[in-house]
Amino acid sequence: MHNPFSLSGKTILVTGASSGIGRATAIECSKMGARVFLSARNEARLCETLAMMEGEGHQFIIADLTEEEAIKALVDQLPQLDGVVLNAGVAGLVPTMGITSEKLLQMQQINLNAPILLTRTLVKKRKLNTPSSIVFTSSAAGVFRTSVGNAIYATTKCGIDAFMRTAALELASRGIRCNSVNPAMVETELIKNLPISEEEREKNLQQYPLHRYGKPEEVAYAIIYLLSDAAAWTTGTALKLDGGLTIG
Ligand SMILES: NC(=O)c1ccc[n+]([C@@H]2O[C@H](COP(=O)([O-])OP(=O)(O)OC[C@H]3O[C@@H](n4cnc5c(N)ncnc54)[C@H](OP(=O)(O)O)[C@@H]3O)[C@@H](O)[C@H]2O)c1
C-alpha cells in the first residue's frame, strides 16, 4: 500500500536518543521502516532505546556533542543519510539578573553550537543524500512565546530557528530540506528537572486549551512527517506543537 509518510529504505540519525523526544523519535522512526543511528552520551540508556526499537540494523554512537572533535568523530562513523534529527538539548531556568557567561555558554554549546556544527560537518563530509531532510528540535519558547526565567533557553531556540531558515535557503539547491519542530511543554525528564512546584505546574497546565502537556510520541510523529517524502515541498518551516497554548 502506498504510504507517503513511510520511512522505509531511509537511514536516519537521531541525536539525544537516550531519553524523551529523541528516544520516542528513534522508536517511531524504526516502526515506520527506517534504519536509525542513535547518539547521546549515556550508553546504558541508548541500549534501552535500542531494545525498544523494531527492525534491523540500528546502531548507537556515543558522543558528547559539546566537543567539536566528538562531532567530527560521530560524522566519520555514519553512513550516507536520508534524514537527521538534531534533538539533543538541555533546559534550565535562569533569571536575567542571574545570567553569567558560564551559564550562557553551557546551554549555548549543546542547544545552538552543536546542531549548527553537526549540520556543517555532515554537509562538508557529504554524508547527506539528495534528497534528504534535517529536522531541528527547537521550542515554542522564544519563537512563539516568552516566559520568566527562560531567557537563555529561549535565545538558543530562536537562534536555532534562524539557523534552520538560513540553512534551508543555502541547502535547497543540494536537495536538503531543513525544518524545525517547536513544542511547548512535553512530558520528559527535561521538564521534570525544572524547578517548578506542583502548584505552578497545575497553574501552567490551565493555560493549555487541551489541558495537558504533549507526549514525546506526538513530537516524534511531526518529526516523521518532516523526514518523510510527504513533506517533500516543505522547507524552512517552524512547526508549532503546543496543545493550543499560543492561540489566545
Ligand atoms: N520536554 C519539553 O518540554 C521540550 C519542549 C520544547 C523543546 N524541547 C527540546 O527537545 C529536545 C529533547 O528534549 P527532551 O525533553 O527529550 O529532554 P531529555 O529527555 O532530557 O533528553 C535530552 C537528550 O539530549 C541528550 N544530551 C544532552 N546533553 C548532551 C550532550 N552534551 N551531548 C550529547 N547529547 C546530549 C541527552 O542524552 P545524554 O544525557 O545521554 O547525553 C538526552 O538524550 C531538546 O532540544 C529540548 O530543548 C523539549
pLDDT tens-digit series, residues 180-236: 999 999 999 998 888 888 899 999 999 999 999 999 999 999 999 999 999 999 999
**Buried b vs exposed e over 181-199: b needs ≥16 C-beta within 10 Å?**
bbbbbbebebeeeeeeeee
Compute the distance between CA of residue 42 and CA of residue 17 in angstroms, rounded to an integer.
Answer: 9
In the prediction, which pLDDT does 248 show? Answer: 80
Ligand 1 centroid from CA 145, angstroms: 20
Q: Tell me which residue has its CA closest to atom 8 in ligand 1.
A: 139
Percent of the chain with pLDDT over 70: 100
Residues 6+ apart with CB under 8 A from 61: 37, 38, 39, 74, 77, 78
Q: Which residues line ligand 1 (CB under 6 A)?
A: 16, 18-22, 40-42, 45, 64-66, 87-91, 110, 137, 139, 183, 185-186, 188-191
4 inside domain: no
Mean pLDDT of 173-183: 98
Cell 516566559 appears where?
147
Compute the distance between CA of residue 143 and CA of residue 161 in angstroms, rounded to an integer.
Answer: 8
38 inside domain: yes
Respond yes or no: is residue 221 known to be catalytic.
no
Reported pTM: 0.98
Q: Tell me which residue has its CA closest to atom 17 in ligand 1.
A: 190
Ligand 1 centroid from CA 1, angstroms: 35
CATH number (domain holding residue 55)? 3.40.50.720
Residue 21: is its pLDDT beyond 90? Answer: yes
1 inside domain: no
Q: Which residues pair with 91 in a beta bridge?
A: none
Residue 110 Cα: closest atom of ligand 1: 31
Mean pLDDT of 73-82: 98
248 inside domain: no
Any idea how long the chain is? 248
In the prediction, which pLDDT does 192 show? Answer: 86
Range of the domain at 66: 11-241
Q: Say how many Å lie between the first and final Cα of the chain, rounded.
A: 41
Compute the distance between CA of residue 93 and CA of residue 152 in angstroms, rounded to an integer.
Answer: 8
Burial class, 70, CB count within 10 angstroms (exposed 0-12 / middle 13-18 / buried 19+): middle
Compute the distance between CA of residue 247 and CA of residue 203 in angstroms, rounded to an integer.
Answer: 17
Considering 153, 208, 213, 225, which one is annotated as catalytic?
153
Q: How many CB atoms lie within 10 A of CB 221?
A: 16
8 Å CB contact between 40 and 46: yes
Q: Which residue has the higher pLDDT, 200 or 152?
A: 152
Residue 245: is its pLDDT beyond 90? Answer: yes
Residue 26: is its pLDDT beyond 90? Answer: yes
6 inside domain: no
Q: How many domains does the chain have?
A: 1
Question: In the predicted model, what is the mean pLDDT of the chain?
Answer: 97
Q: Tell me which residue has its CA closest to atom 1 in ligand 1.
A: 186
2 inside domain: no
3 inside domain: no
In the prediction, which pLDDT does 24 show? Answer: 98
232 inside domain: yes
In the prediction, which pLDDT does 196 show? Answer: 85
Residue 50: is its pLDDT beyond 90? Answer: yes
In the prediction, which pLDDT does 194 show? Answer: 84
Give the residue among 245, 150, 248 at the shortest CA–CA distance from 207: 245
